[in-house]
Structure 1
Amino acid sequence: MRIDLHTHSKISDGTEEPADVIRAAADAGLDVVALTDHDTTGGWEQAAAAARRIGIGFVPGMEISCRTVEGISVHVLSYLHDPQYPDLLAEISKARDARLTRAERMVELLAEDFPITWEDVHAHVGHGATVGRPHIADALVAAGVVADRTEAFANILTSHSRYYVTHYAPDPVLAVELVRQAGGVPVFAHPVASARGRVVAEDVFRQMVDAGLAGVEADHRDNPPEGQAWLRRFAIENGLFLTGSSDYHGTGKPNRLGENVTAEEVLYRILDEGSGAEAFLPGHTTAS
């Protein structure tokens, strides 16, 4: 099977509706796809319904935006967790609220130098999604300030920019613990993607493992080859599984569905470990 376990829709910062992500996955020749929008499960129902209609496997997931005490950004993918688990839901809601306040302040700062308003940004936000930097980037593209999201993030929206504003995000160790408590399977997303910014030291990996980390996303375009090799060694030493994914965002990023894939045995390990939600595979339903 061809399995892609990391995609995004308009519910967070992708450019397509959840059902369209599923259709695109089927058109790309995938057998199973996970929807992992940032800090929300709002697209699960639509995506699952589309998967059943089309006949493609679907794994419900989420990408949790975290930050270490040193200020390093970390993303934790969660599969098959209970979307109503109170402690995880409260932490995600706190982070979403903080991100909205942060986006408003960033737009205020940007408006001092560029032709951009809060209304301009909000025009690029999908129904139910929280405004984030990708939506601000889209507004800057529409205003002709930059050519695309990549240019926006490389310059104006970088964490080193004077327009950047920090916001609350849970510690990655806490996120792993909460995912496990919610019956989910936590995976460290693009863990050594140094081109995105600072990456965590090995001690943070080990703390996440102690908290219940199940796997690491090794095959991802933003992980450099030497980093991928280290991840494979670390996974073997610590009993973790390896995933490969696209991190698809529609037209929001150059990433293409299925450019990296996950082994079938890893999928079944995730299905075995998850106990908070239900995945769909054509021919049978895996109830957790």
Structure 2
Amino acid sequence: MTNYTLQASREWWSQQWLDLLDSYRFKKRLERARNYARQGNVLSIEFKGAKVLARVQGSEVEPYKVSLSLEPFSDEQWGYVIETMSQRAIFAAKLLAGEMPQNIEEVFTANGLSIFPFTLGDVQSQCSCPDKANPCKHIGAIYYQLGDRFSEDPFVLFQLRGRTKEQIISDLRQLRSQKIEADISETPDIQQSPPHSKYLVKIDSFWQYHEPLESSLVVITPSSSETILDVLGSVPLAKEEENAVNPTSSDLVMNSLNKVYRDVSQKAFMAAMNVGAS
């Protein structure tokens, strides 16, 4: 598998982590580190808080001990980050689905933070091997292994900053619960009204309106020769073979409806203009 194919198969956040390592100028050392990671030389990786502890088999019989960590965010900083996340539900939804939101970094930059280290110098790492270079091939192998783990579980990246998956989800749920309770407390108490009372209609007074209309709500438009009756066309009166309807019946009905339409329109106009009000 070529490097291009590997990059295409990685998640973007995993690739961004590895791009940091690929900026290291000692390419031969990186190639050996990549081989160590792919050939099973990394014997174990575990978290101790926000720190990664690993054992890497080198040329000696005894495996080398590697530690790697980022500067963890404080409880206060994480509080701001989680609150920002809770305000954008898409972040929580994607993270719960095991996917890192494309613009997740915005949550951190909005609070003056960065989830990704800017340079290799921002990563604290140590190895028990005699190589004085940092990162050595053993540390580099852990970089690559962590990149694979990020693809499988994006919360590992957050753990390097001091928060586990369980903590983040718990905090998000707590904030969500508090928001729901706050919304409920601000909602007017409608339990005193009968069930579905807002849907009840008094038929005898439905068409009555005893208050004058607000003049600013009345819009007067030029009359039009075409009415809704013209748009609908003639009434389709049924015909039967033995009792056919007179062809003029439809015209008579339409003329009657037109008269009613004009009368109602005139009365509505007068009511809107408050004509005849004392």
Q: Which has the higher helix share?
A: 2
* TM-score of the two chains, using structure 2 as the length reference: 0.23
The higher relative CO (CA closer than 8 Å, separation ≥ 6) is in 1
Which of the pair has more CA radius of gyration? 2
Indicate the structure with greater strand content: 1
